[in-house]
Amino acid sequence: MGESKVVGVLGGMGPAATVEFFRRLVDATPATIDQSHLRVVIDSDPTVPDRTRALLHGGPTPVPALVRMARRLEMAGAQVLAMPCNTAHAFLDPIRQSVCVPVLDMIGETVDRLEERVVGLLATSGAIGSGIYHRAFEEHGIEPVVPSEKSQETVNRAIEAIKAARSLVEVGTAIASVVRELHARGAEAVVAGCTEISLLDGSRMPIRWVDALDVLVGATIREAYLDEEDS
C-alpha cells in the first residue's frame, strides 16, 4: 500500500481497551514487515474525568481533557484521530472543533455497518442516556433494544469488573444472559457499544455480535491509507 497517515489515539478510557485497540490495529493492518505498519501515536490518559458521571450525574466535564489530548496528538504529528471509547463520543463535536485533522466517529461507523432492523445495545448508562447510539439508529431506521434496568446494572458491573481486570469468563457469562434477554425482546443483533465489553468473546453470544472496537479499527486503517486528495 502507499503512504499512510499518522494515527493518533485518544486513549486511557480505559487503558485495557486502548491496548486492545492497538493490538487489533496491528493485527488488521495489511503489512508483512515492520516498515509497512502504521505510525501510531497513543496518548493514554486515564485521568480524563468519568464520562458517564459527567453525562448523568453532573460530574466534571471531560471536554477540556479530551481537547488537550487531541491537540497534543495533532502537535505530535497525528493526521487522523481515533478514540476507542464509545461514551466519550458524546463529546465528539468539541473535540473535532479543536483540531484541524479528522476525528473518526466510532458510533456512526458502527451503525453504518448494521443490516438488521432491530438491534440490541450493550453500553454504559452514560452512552445510553446521552442518546448517541439512539440518534444514529433512528437515522438508519433501526429500532434499538436496551437492557432492562436490572440488566443494565449487570452491564455496568461487568464494565467495572473488566476495568478492574477481573475474570473475563465470568463477566462474559453475565453479559451473555443480557444478550439472551435482548434477543427474546426481538433483537436480531447486538452492538458491543463499550470498549470494555469489546474485550469479551462475541463468538459465544446467541446472536450476531457487532463490535464497535473492530469497526473503529477498520475505519482507522481505511482513513490512514486514503490519499490526501481524497481526505
Q: Over the stretch 6-62, which tens digit does the pLDDT of each residue have?
A: 999 999 999 999 999 999 999 999 999 999 999 999 999 999 999 999 999 999 999
**Residue from 194, 210, 213, 219 carrying the catalytic annotation:** 194
pLDDT at 229: 43
Sign of CA dihedral 209, 112, 150, 127: positive
pLDDT at 228: 46
Adjacent-strand bridge partners of 192 = 122, 211
Percent of the chain with pLDDT over 90: 94
The C-alpha torsion from 6 through 68 and 91 to 106, rounded to 10°, is 20
pLDDT at 227: 66
The string of pLDDT tens digits covering residues 221-231 is: 999 998 644 44
CATH number at 108-212 = 3.40.50.1860
The CA distance from 134 to 138, in Å, is 6
The CA distance from 125 to 132, in Å, is 11
Rounded to an integer, the average pLDDT of 129-157 is 97
Three cell numbers at 180?
439472551
Q: Is 100 marked active-site?
A: no
For the chain, where do the domains classified as CATH 3.40.50.1860 start and end?
7-106+215-230, 108-212
The string of pLDDT tens digits covering residues 146-163 is: 999 999 999 999 999 999
pLDDT at 165: 86
The secondary structure of residue 34, as a DSSP letter, is: G
The answer to whether residue 110 scores a pLDDT higher than 80 is yes
Sheet with 118-122, strands from edge to edge, namely: 143-145, 118-122, 189-192, 208-211
Least confident of 28-32, 105-109, 131-135, 166-170: 166-170
Cα separation values, 213 from 45, 101, 109, 167, Å = 18, 21, 10, 20
Q: Is 82 helix (H, G, I), strand (E, B) or coil?
A: strand
- If pLDDT is split at 50, 70 and 90, which confidence band does 1 have? low
pTM: 0.95
Rounded to an integer, the average pLDDT of 117-130 is 98
pLDDT at 166: 85
At the topology level of CATH, where does 7-106+215-230 sit? Answer: Rossmann fold (3.40.50)
Positions of E strands within 65-224: 80-82, 118-122, 143-145, 189-192, 208-211
Rounded to an integer, the average pLDDT of 60-69 is 98
**Residue from 63, 85, 103, 162 carrying the catalytic annotation:** 85
Sign of CA dihedral 136, 141, 142, 143: positive
The string of pLDDT tens digits covering residues 82-107 is: 999 999 999 999 999 999 999 999 99
pLDDT at 231: 41
Q: Is 116 helix (H, G, I), strand (E, B) or coil?
A: coil
The string of pLDDT tens digits covering residues 171-199 is: 999 999 999 999 999 999 999 999 999 99
